[in-house]
Amino acid sequence: MNKTPTQRAEKLLAELTLEEKLCQLSCQMLYPIRGDYEERRLYKMGNFRNPGHFIHEQRGTAVEPDEVTDAINRDVRLSMQSNSHGIPPIEHGEALHGAQWGMATCFPQPIGMASTFDDELVEAIGDVIGKECAVVGVRQALTPVVNVVRDCRWGRTIETFGEDVLINSNMGAAICRGLQKNGVIATPKHYADNYSYGGRDSNVSDTSERTMREVYLKPFEKCIKDGGAMSVMAAYNSWDGIPCTCNGYLLNDILRGEWGFEGFVVSDYNSVYGVSGAHRLFDEVWKAQAASLKAGLDIDLPQNSVEKLRTAYNEGMITEEDIDRALLRVLKAKFAIGLMDKPFADRDEAKRLVRCSEHKMLALEAARRAMVLLKNDGVLPLSREKIRKLAVFGMGADEVPLGKNYSGPFEFDWTAEDAKTPLQYLREYLKGYAEVIYADDEHIEHLAAECDAALYFTTVVEGEGMDRSDIRLPGVTHKVQQNENAVIVGKFEMEVTTNQEESICRMTAANKNSAVVLFNGSPIDISAWENGCGAVLEAWYPGEQGAQAICEILFGEISPSGKLPITFPKTVGQLPLFYSVKPSGRGYGYVENDGSPRYPFGYGMSYTSFALDNFECINNGDSLNIKLTVENTGEYDGAEVVQIYLAGIYCDVVMPIQELKAYKRVELEKGEKAQLDICVPNEAFLYYDRKMSYGMHNGDYTVQIGTSCKDIHKTFAVKVREGKII
């Protein structure tokens, strides 16, 4: 009779000695990968940071997928031979916007994915990432990041899906589904509320339980219940006085008790040490290890924790029952993903699959949909037939637009011969039509003036360990080095050698037919130069195919269709700034401005125009169906995103002034009309009442249908009474 993963795990667990159990609960990470690797490798460990991430550095050249597969297969084989039961390790790695063991397909950064408002596309991206992880033997991905961003000064905003709870929830779950259908364990992180005042990373959280449950926990719950995530990463920070790494209320009571999570919890790298070190709760690391295990943490990444666990056991701070409980979760996952039955990857399949044409086409389509047109005074689209000389400026023009953050393997830039910089692609695209001149900013005035059009490609210093107190474009001699705690993504320095704001102003003064292309992972204060600029395209970091997508949009081959998943403030002084605030007792304004954003959540321009009409709101008792027609009334093919918000009054508690509850992206050729039917589920009307009871409590609501949080086309009034919409 076929046994379930749980039954098989229980049988195996019963056969292990205490020492074998401790090894299976431990991890190891080794770099650099050099000649003494096998002497340093502790093959009995049950978890390992895959060697594919590190082998490029010592070679000085990009390693091919089949060689990565060989390295991981050898590691797995020797690991299985080192224990009497032949248990393979879980080889884990990063996969934020592409499998990060080497030169796998590189998609837009997650903030760009969120701009697509396209859950199906994001799930397809997760599927490709899962395939390109599994095919080389990486079976756990430390992704997605589903921390809701309410202060864009946080350097890791680039890794997120923005400020909205629903977008983070839906897209996080989509990535999880994509990964796990390929036998790769998804690991949503960082659980929970991973930044604090001023966007400071991993800072202490004093968020109320109401806000924690209404905002920061919801995406994790969705990743588990709808995404099927089999692991969760605990965050570095403390919440309510207890580090998340050893917070039993978070890890056991909520995660497992309330949500029914059956997977395993891993630490953020070295965060168990941080319980005793940074947080200073214990005088010995083994005590922190014991407290974390008791609280619901199963694996301490990326450390060998055998000695600490053994000491905790000998001192009576943990029992074998505690050890068994944690290990059973891990073994169940190993059986569930098929690792125990098929531990080795296929090197030939890896060579065929990784960055195949289909995967690169998906990366291109994602880049096309991710970009947001913020401003256009008739400058865009440019015409290839009319331009004879194009001036290009800015540091971003001659780099593949990936973003440094989690792009490429350790200490080695992601690279591919067929991945172009914007400058390279523009020159290819305009060959035979126009001359493309690329020059340093010192030559802007005379070059911009003598060209038919001018473009400026920006750069921003941000990423893990690189929080910002200033959200303007960085200026001359601005140099930042990633902090020591972020070395796993490859420590890097970034230096800006020109005053970008001044350069843009000089360019637009010299040539009114000018546009700025933003490369960034979080909002930028553009107030110093926006007024004189004819067009602004928010490209985010669009990935390996981004140069082509940028060129297509600039020249009208594709109409921009992205929408902002995060509010753009006018100035850093407005932060934190997000759309779904709760009502103020007196008002929102500042002395110097009214507090409104530069660009609101959900905003994005197009080259074409759309008409929304024939609205219907159908009451199903416990959900709504919103019907409408959308017509492309302009001169270009394009896409619109219909957004549905709720505004609640007369509820048991104060509600957000509006909150996104459903959305639908629709592609239409010029002149085409489509009928949409969008479900607003009963979940949209659930909230925590004064007693913190979650349910469909009474309230009056305005259903708002629009194309951004500020551009509302139609409203309907509904009420909820006794759990039903009336």
DSSP 502-520: HHHHHHHHH-SSEEEEE--
Amino acid of residue 274: G
**Span 627-643, pLDDT tens digits:** 999 999 999 999 999 99
Amino acid of residue 685: F
pLDDT of 480 over the 60 cut: no
pLDDT of 483 over the 60 cut: no
Phi-psi region of 354 (alpha: psi -120 to 50; beta: other; left: phi over 0): beta
Q: Is residue 182 situated within a structural domain?
A: yes
C-alpha span between 446 and 497 (Å, rounded): 20
**Span 697-720, pLDDT tens digits:** 999 999 999 999 999 999 999 999
**Residue 393: strand pairing partners:** 456
More reliable by pLDDT, 653 or 485: 653
Q: The sheet that has 724-725: what strands, in order across it?
A: 659-668, 638-649, 699-706, 712-721, 724-725
Q: Is residue 363 situated within a structural domain?
A: no
Scanning the structure block, which residue is given the tokens 């400020």? 163
Show Cβ contacts of residue 332 under 8 Å, excluding neighbours closer than 6 positions: 5, 6, 9, 262
- Shared domain for 632 and 564, answered yes or no, is no
- Shared domain for 88 and 163, answered yes or no, is yes
519 within 8 A of 541, measured Cβ to Cβ: yes
- Shared domain for 88 and 229, answered yes or no, is yes
- Shared domain for 533 and 625, answered yes or no, is no
pLDDT of 667 over the 70 cut: yes
C-alpha span between 523 and 502 (Å, rounded): 19
- Shared domain for 375 and 348, answered yes or no, is no
- Shared domain for 403 and 335, answered yes or no, is no
Show Cβ contacts of residue 99 under 8 Å, excluding neighbours closer than 6 positions: 93, 105, 129, 132, 133, 136, 138, 141, 354
> What burial class does residue 57 get, using C-beta atoms within 10 Å of its C-beta: 0-12 exposed, 13-18 middle, 19+ buried?
middle
pLDDT of 491 over the 70 cut: no
Distances, alpha carbon 426 to alpha carbons 3, 398, 436, 654, in Å: 58, 11, 7, 52
Q: Is residue 591 situated within a structural domain?
A: no
Model pTM score: 0.96
Pairing of strands 435-438, 389-393: parallel
Q: Which of 558, 574, 590 is the last residue of a domain?
A: 574
Q: Is residue 652 situated within a structural domain?
A: yes
Rg (CA), the chain: 26
Domain count, the chain: 3
- Shared domain for 285 and 385, answered yes or no, is no
Buried b / exposed e along 542-572 (16+ C-beta atoms within 10 A): bbbbbbbbbbbbbbbebbbbbbbbbbbbbbb
**Span 591-650, pLDDT tens digits:** 777 789 999 999 999 999 999 999 999 999 888 999 999 999 999 999 999 999 999 999
* Closest to 369 (Cα-Cα) out of 108, 155, 124, 631: 108
Rounded to the nearest angstrom, the gap between the alpha carbon of residue 210 and the centroid of all alpha carbons in its chain is 24
pLDDT of 676 over the 70 cut: yes
Tell me, what DSSP letter sits at residue 382? P
492 — pLDDT class (breaks 50, 70, 90): low
Domain range enclosing 702 = 610-725
What does pLDDT average to over the chain?
95
Tell me, what DSSP letter sits at residue 616? E
* Domain harbouring 700, CATH code: 2.60.40.10
- Which segment of 250-254, 411-415, 474-478, 713-717 scores lowest on mean pLDDT? 474-478
Residue 585: its pLDDT value, please?
Answer: 84
Residue 473: its pLDDT value, please?
Answer: 94
- Shared domain for 296 and 387, answered yes or no, is no
Residue 493: its pLDDT value, please?
Answer: 64
Pairing of strands 493-496, 478-481: antiparallel
Q: Is residue 79 situated within a structural domain?
A: yes
C-alpha span between 277 and 282 (Å, rounded): 8
- Shared domain for 112 and 85, answered yes or no, is yes
Give the mean pLDDT of 226-230: 98
- Shared domain for 337 and 385, answered yes or no, is no
Phi-psi region of 150 (alpha: psi -120 to 50; beta: other; left: phi over 0): alpha
pLDDT of 388 over the 80 cut: yes
337 within 8 A of 230, measured Cβ to Cβ: yes
pLDDT of 229 over the 90 cut: yes
Rounded to the nearest angstrom, the gap between the alpha carbon of residue 679 and the centroid of all alpha carbons in its chain is 26
Residue 282: its pLDDT value, please?
Answer: 95
* Domain harbouring 268, CATH code: 3.20.20.300
pLDDT of 686 over the 80 cut: yes
Give the mean pLDDT of 386-406: 95
The helix (H) or strand (E) run that includes residue 37 is: helix 37-40
Number of H helices, E strands in the chain: 21, 29
**Span 290-344, pLDDT tens digits:** 999 999 999 999 989 999 999 999 999 999 999 999 999 999 999 999 999 999 9
User: Please, which contacts does 270-276 make with residues 24 or more away whose CB atoms are closer than 8 Å?
Assistant: 270/302, 270/303, 270/485, 271/234, 271/235, 271/236, 271/243, 271/244, 271/245, 272/245, 272/297, 272/300, 272/303, 272/305, 273/303, 274/236, 274/243, 274/245, 275/243, 275/245, 275/246
Residue 482: its pLDDT value, please?
Answer: 54
474 — pLDDT class (breaks 50, 70, 90): confident
* Domain harbouring 566, CATH code: 3.40.50.1700
Q: Is residue 366 situated within a structural domain?
A: no
In the numeric block, which tokens belong to residue 138?
A: 């990486």
- Shared domain for 221 and 257, answered yes or no, is yes
C-alpha span between 465 and 483 (Å, rounded): 5
Q: Which of 574, 601, 626 is the last residue of a domain?
A: 574
Query: What SS3 state is found at 36?
Result: coil
684 — pLDDT class (breaks 50, 70, 90): very high
23 within 8 A of 44, measured Cβ to Cβ: yes
Q: Is residue 365 situated within a structural domain?
A: no
- Shared domain for 386 and 427, answered yes or no, is yes
Q: Classify the C-alpha dihedral 440-443-449-452 as positive or negative.
A: negative
Distances, alpha carbon 226 to alpha carbons 171, 497, 512, in Å: 11, 46, 49
Residue 181: its pLDDT value, please?
Answer: 97
pLDDT of 489 over the 80 cut: no
Q: Is residue 541 situated within a structural domain?
A: yes
